[in-house]
Amino acid sequence: MIKAVIFDLDNTLIDFLKMKRLSCSAAIDAMIGAGLSVKHDEAIKMLFELYDKYGLEEKTIFQKFLKKVAGKIDYKILANGVVAYRRVRTGFLEPYPNVDYVLLKLKSKGIKLAIVTDAPKLKAWIRLASIKLTNYFDVVVAFEDTERLKPSKLPFKAALKKLKLNPEECLMVGDWPERDIKGAKSLGMKTCFARYGNPKVKKSYADYEITDIRMLLGIIE
């Protein structure tokens, strides 16, 4: 019997990549407007190559980007990019359709809810607060709790300890087979692949797959 559902955060509850693309596009436009000499499409490609190298949570990504493009950091250009990025990020951040409905239904059934994310703790809570979901979750495990990234067992073990449940009593829902699904399976959890968050994946190796978060309710039943 499933007693808890553990969610990944980005691209499972929040359409993080869409927000990232829109925010970065606005940042590039603002930096070009402030004097950066580069074509928009070329700049986007270079920026996301840096994200691939350093990670989507890299705090100094625009500094690295400017050094790569211009060989130095122009703080006028940097400031314009950061402000534009933050403005779009704040305005766009929202949950996937029906997330709040499903979370409320699960809570009403007595199901405990948790999050295991690779994001830093403050960023994770800010995202949850921005989409008004903070009160739904009994447990949130972020990077600082174990200083290990999924698929390490440690973040999942930390969630199980806080939930006071065994692995077989929990269902892990995530969009990344190599991290969310693999890590949860290694402990014996049931797993569910959020295909709506990562539709390009060919095979998830999860116990269940969903194309709409409402399908979770049927799995729990």
- Tens-digit pLDDT profile for residues 72-118: 999 999 999 999 999 998 778 889 999 999 999 999 999 999 999 99
pTM of the model: 0.84
Domain with CATH 3.40.50.1000 in the chain: 4-15+96-220
CATH superfamily of 4-15+96-220: HAD superfamily/HAD-like (3.40.50.1000)
> What gap in Å lies between CA 182 and CA 100, rounded to an integer?
26
> What gap in Å lies between CA 88 and CA 106, rounded to an integer?
31
| Alpha-helix residue ranges (DSSP H) falling in the chain | 16-33, 40-54, 61-70, 75-92, 99-108, 121-130, 143-146, 153-163, 182-185, 215-220
Q: Which fold has domain 17-92?
A: DNA polymerase; domain 1 (1.10.150)
Q: Which candidate, 218, 217, 219, places its Cα nearest to that of 104?
A: 217
Q: Which amino acid is at 139?
A: V
Is 175:193 a contact under the CB 8 Å cutoff?
yes
Domain with CATH 1.10.150.520 in the chain: 17-92
